Amino acid sequence: MSSAARICLITLFLVLPQYGQAYASGDDASCDHHVAQWLNPADGKVLDSREVFERLSGGRIVLLGEAHTTVAHHRWQHYMLAALHSRNPNMMVGFEMLPRRAQPVLDDWSAGKLDEKEFLERSKWREVWGYDAGLYLPLLHFARLNRLPALALNIDRALVSRVGQQGWSAIDEAERMGLSNPAPASGAYRESLARLYRYKKTMGINGDAAATQQEPDLAEIMRSDAFANFVDAQLTWDRAMAEALAAARRRQPVALVVGIIGRGHIEHRYGIPHQLADLGIPDAAVLLPVDREAVCDGPAADLADAVFVIEPTGRLVATAPKARLGVLVATTDDGVRVANVMEGSVAEATAIEVDDIVVSAAGAPVAKVGELVEIVQRQAPGTWLPLVIRRDGEEIEVVAKFPTSFETPQ
């Protein structure tokens, strides 16, 4: 047996069973369900784990949802990769975290040609994703140890941002990065996105509910052009990842294609599964980790094909959300250039503009994207960050004011 295989087996048999057993004694006796059970949310019945994995191990697409900063979700994803791989080693792993242009870097990573530092630098992880790489490296190492193809599922955020500002139909076909037209969102998906849109609009830039601002009516929101563009942007994300998954399935019809994806893109089969069905793949499996407390309260019947009960995340250590400026930046010969400014972001409130060059942050000179990201992510909630930017040859001092909370809805 190879050393890589031994490591995988050690991970599977030492870490994973303990993951389910460690908290059994803390389960509330008033609820029949406990940690490490598989459940069918449609009827609440317990599923045999062996049957779950046997159904999943054939050549199909399996989507594993997550909340990006929840450690327990990533542990569960690692458990799933190990369990699925033990049944079907012909597997590919797709990552929402990276855009298609990072595929050559992922190929080199899986082939063992890059160390972690080189991978993170060449993939521009901090620029294109920003969440703690430490949460995802165990998953990436699993693909590498087993020499599994790793897939970059996403699309450049610059396109999504343009769609969010102008709408899909306003983007010239030649500038759509090869994407086909997304299938329209269902009424239920639009309503769920309207609630998210309302949340973002009624939370001030400081992260606190705007007490003097009346909460907009959902129906009014759903009639607005701005919301229509917001939906188009979400559909662009969904379609891009669905197309990447579908292409992998077409290349290897008997392979197991596993997607590591934010749960908002797959819950209720609204996002990526809906787009996959439009592409002729209606049988993608949607699996989610769910806190035991939520399970005992009763998850929505159509939430997923199956849910795995985990320890309530409030009892587990999670990485704290980090500060985000809300810009897309690139290292150029002139310095760190702003390529895009996100709507509703700290950067927008600071009046940072596209093509600004960030000269310094917190008094420290900035020459590379990584340097700026490191300074921004050190900021605590509620802090003010002085920046010097160069615009039209003139240096301007601005102050980025971060919200009092970095929490976002999962």
**Residue ranges of the chain assigned to CATH 3.40.50.11550:** 3-157+234-315
Q: What is the pTM of this model?
A: 0.76
Q: Tokens representing 58? A: 């054939």
In the prediction, which pLDDT does 345 show? 87
In the prediction, which pLDDT does 315 show? 52
In the prediction, which pLDDT does 295 show? 82
According to DSSP, the β-strands at 256-262 and 61-66 are parallel
**What b/e string do you get for 317-334 counting C-beta neighbours within 10 Å, with b at 16 or more?**
eeeebbbbbbbbbebeee
Q: Tokens representing 232? A: 């188009």
Q: Tokens representing 385? A: 């960050």
**Residue ranges of the chain assigned to CATH 2.30.42.10:** 327-401
Q: Tokens representing 145? A: 């140890």
Q: CA 61 to CA 250: how far, in whole Å? A: 11
Alpha carbon distances (Å) from 335 to 321, 357, 391, 398, 406: 27, 6, 12, 17, 28
Torsion of the alpha carbons at 49, 55, 57 and 62, rounded to the nearest 10:
-90
Let me know how long the chain is.
410
Q: From edge to edge, which strands make up the β-sheet containing 285-291? A: 45-47, 38-40, 306-310, 285-291, 61-66, 256-262, 91-99, 150-154
DSSP for 173-217, written as a single string? GGGSTTPPPPPPPPHHHHHHHHHHHHHHHHB-TTSSB-TTSPPPP
What are residue 259's DSSP bridge partners? 63, 94
Burial of residue 63 (CB within 10 Å: 0-12, 13-18, 19+) is buried
CATH classification of 3-157+234-315 is 3.40.50.150, yes or no?
no
Which of 385, 321, 377 shows the shortest CA–CA distance to 352?
Answer: 385
Ranges of the chain whose pLDDT falls below 70: 1-30, 202-215, 314-320, 407-410
Q: CA 380 to CA 400: how far, in whole Å? A: 12
Q: CA 8 to CA 10: how far, in whole Å? A: 5
Q: Which fold has domain 327-401?
A: Pdz3 Domain (2.30.42)
Q: Tokens representing 322? A: 């980090």
